[in-house]
């Protein structure tokens, strides 16, 4: 009787070892599939970077719903030369590219006439604007990413302004 039990144990151990190896192969295959899926494509953070840039510009222009005094004191104090400095932006971060990889444009509109801007300031690589018009197609995902933000703000005399911020990030060599 003991011999029969020992034979059954050995047979059961062989069957369990086959299942054990099958489970190990399944687990290893699942881990490989997850790692491959995770690292298959690089992260494309250009849209997030454009959002951060637009938010930083918005914070620079307006505080608690009112235009900053360094930006507007009856007249707009921004121009292309001091815009990046006033908003603490640096578009020349990498020396390997000849042209800047960023572009931003800020337009101010009076609420009485929202079709015509009363003041514009822009800085960066103007060639990137063309990417904004065609970026919605999947074929052109290797173009620059564009983000437009809008918000309302008041001046000291409670005049209302619509402010549009267009921020564009190229950096296709790193992100696509």
pLDDT at position 145 is 85
Show me where the domains of the chain are located: 1-40, 46-175
pLDDT, tens digit only, all 176 positions of the chain: 555 545 555 556 666 678 888 899 999 999 999 998 888 876 778 889 899 999 999 999 998 889 888 888 878 888 888 888 888 888 777 666 677 788 999 999 988 888 888 989 998 888 888 887 776 666 666 778 889 999 999 988 888 999 999 999 887 766 55
3-state secondary structure the chain: CHHHHHHHHHHHHHHHHHHHHHHHHHHHHHHHHHHHHHHCCCCCCHHHHHHHHHHHHHHHHEECCEECCCCECCCECCCCCCHHHHCCCCCCCCCCCCCCCEEEEEEEEECCEEEEEEEEEEEECHHHHHHHHHCCCHHHCCCCEEEEEEEEEECCCCCEEEEEEEEEECCHHHHC
pTM above 0.75, yes or no: no
């Amino acid at each position: 009787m003991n011999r029969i039990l020992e034979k059954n144990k050995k047979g059961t151990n062989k069957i369990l070892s086959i299942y054990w190896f099958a489970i190990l192969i399944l687990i290893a295959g699942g881990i490989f599939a997850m790692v491959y899926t995770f690292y298959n494509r690089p992260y494309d953070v250009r849209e997030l970077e454009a959002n951060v840039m637009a938010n930083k510009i918005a914070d620079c222009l307006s505080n608690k719903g009112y235009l900053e005094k360094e930006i507007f004191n009856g007249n707009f104090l921004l121009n292309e030369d001091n815009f990046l400095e006033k908003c603490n932006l640096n578009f020349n971060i990498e020396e390997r590219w000849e042209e800047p990889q960023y572009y931003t444009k800020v337009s101010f509109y009076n609420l009485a006439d929202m079709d015509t801007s009363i003041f514009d300031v822009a800085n960066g690589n103007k060639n990137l604007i063309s990417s904004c018009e065609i970026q919605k197609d999947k074929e052109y995902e290797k173009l620059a990413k564009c983000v437009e933000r809008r918000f309302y703000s008041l001046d000291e005399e409670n005049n209302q302004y619509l402010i549009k911020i267009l921020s564009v990030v190229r950096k296709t060599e790193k992100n696509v």
